[in-house]
């Protein structure tokens, strides 16, 4: 046996099991739900700007999704085609709707987290380290062409599709086709910078959330508030960094979003994706 090859095998830890990656994905959804004050969004404190869902709805959803994240991880480890991942995602969406009695709690998160779970599993199956660069490279190399075609194809009739056609907002499909720039170029740097400066988990996650609010053309906001609503939301997002009391500012912004019935649900999905990628990098195999 070649000594160098033996040493490389010993230095490469075993890939995480599908259920372990599913647990990280589910925990990311839990942490997103638990974050408060979170402008316009559902948390354990209140339903935000929503009248058809609350934290219990989200809890039923996220636990229904866990086995499907495990299936996506197993498929990713086997270098499955995008069509296979999409089929698992469709099953996951059906499970979500059954658990929530027809309420869309996590459709965008299924898409974003599902791809990221599959990418991490693919990297680790090849004895690689699933850092930010490797995850983005894997998304592009393994499923990039299919994601680009999916982003360009007509979608199902949805709020996101309607405002995308009206305002040119790309939504979840465009984010995936570009290997999630909002996650890797905006939210993760904000999260890690806040943490490096001594912020606790709540403050660091709020920093990431508001960084996303400031930059993302959220299709849920566009559907509810149009361009004026989006401008208001993004202005609020940009002001977070100058707030003397970030928690008080977040709470006041939450009240303002609720009063205007504005809910950046796409941003919430991207925050969950951010928390998953961060957890992958911070946990050992």
Query: How buried is residue 181: exposed, middle or buried, by Cβ count under 10 Å (0-12/13-18/19+)?
Result: middle
Q: Is the pLDDT assigned to residue 8 strictly greater than 50?
A: no
- Write the pLDDT tens digit of every residue in 69-111: 999 999 999 999 999 999 999 999 999 999 999 999 999 999 9
- Write the pLDDT tens digit of every residue in 197-222: 999 999 999 999 999 999 999 988 98
* Chain centre distance of CA 28: 8
Bond into 33 cis (ω within 30): no
Q: Is the pLDDT assigned to residue 27 strictly greater than 70?
A: yes
On average, the pLDDT of the chain sits at 91
Q: Specify whether the CB–CB gap between 225 and 14 falls below 8 A.
A: no
Distance CA 138, CA 64 (A): 27
Angle at 109 (CA atoms; ends 163, 38), nearest 5 degrees? 80
**Which one is predicted more confidently, 151 or 167?**
151
Provide the pLDDT confidence category of residue 172 given band limits of 50, 70 and 90.
confident
Q: Is the pLDDT assigned to residue 6 strictly greater than 60?
A: no
Q: Is the pLDDT assigned to residue 9 strictly greater than 60?
A: no
Q: Which of 185, 204, 186 is nearest to 196 (CA)?
A: 204
The encoded tokens of residue 18 equal 């599908």
Rounded mean pLDDT, 139-165: 73
pLDDT of residue 165: 47
Query: How buried is residue 123: exposed, middle or buried, by Cβ count under 10 Å (0-12/13-18/19+)?
Result: buried
Provide the pLDDT confidence category of residue 158 given band limits of 50, 70 and 90.
low
Give me the percent of the chain exceeding a pLDDT of 90. Answer: 82
- Write the pLDDT tens digit of every residue in 122-149: 999 999 999 999 999 999 999 999 998 8
Domain boundaries, the chain: 16-150+160-280
CA dihedral 79, 99, 90, 88 (to 10 degrees): 20
Rounded mean pLDDT, 4-31: 81
Give me the percent of the chain exceeding a pLDDT of 70. Answer: 89
For domain 16-150+160-280, give the fold: Triphosphoribosyl-dephospho-CoA protein (1.10.4200)
* Chain centre distance of CA 38: 15
pTM of the entire predicted model: 0.91
Q: Is the pLDDT assigned to residue 168 strictly greater than 50?
A: no
CA dihedral 169, 31, 89, 268 (to 10 degrees): -10
Distance CA 98, CA 247 (A): 35
């Amino acid at each position: 046996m070649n000594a160098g090859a033996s040493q490389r095998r010993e230095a490469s830890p075993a890939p995480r099991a599908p259920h372990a990656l599913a647990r990280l994905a589910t925990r990311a959804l839990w942490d997103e739900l638990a974050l408060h004050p979170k402008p316009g969004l559902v948390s354990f404190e209140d339903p935000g700007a929503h009248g058809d869902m609350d934290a219990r709805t989200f809890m039923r959803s996220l636990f229904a999704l866990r086995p499907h994240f495990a299936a996506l991880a197993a498929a990713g480890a086997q270098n499955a085609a995008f069509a296979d991942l999409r089929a698992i995602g469709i099953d996951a969406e059906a499970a979500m709707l059954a658990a929530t009695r027809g309420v869309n709690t996590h459709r965008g998160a299924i898409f974003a987290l599902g791809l990221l779970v599959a990418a991490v599993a693919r990297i680790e199956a090849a004895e690689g380290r699933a850092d930010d660069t490797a995850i983005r490279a894997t998304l592009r190399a393994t499923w990039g062409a299919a994601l680009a075609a999916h982003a360009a194809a007509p979608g199902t009739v949805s709020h996101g599709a309607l405002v995308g056609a009206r305002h040119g907002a790309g939504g979840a499909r465009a984010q995936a086709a570009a290997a999630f720039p909002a996650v890797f170029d905006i939210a993760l740097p904000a999260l890690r910078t806040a943490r490096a400066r001594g912020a606790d988990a709540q403050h660091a996650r709020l920093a990431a959330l508001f960084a996303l609010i400031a930059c993302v053309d959220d299709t849920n906001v566009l559907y509810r508030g149009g361009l004026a609503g989006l401008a208001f939301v993004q202005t609020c997002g940009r002001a977070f960094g100058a707030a003397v009391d970030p928690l008080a500012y977040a709470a006041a912004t939450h009240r303002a979003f609720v009063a205007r019935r504005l809910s950046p649900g796409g941003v919430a999905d991207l925050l969950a994706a951010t928390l998953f990628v961060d957890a992958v990098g911070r946990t050992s195999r």
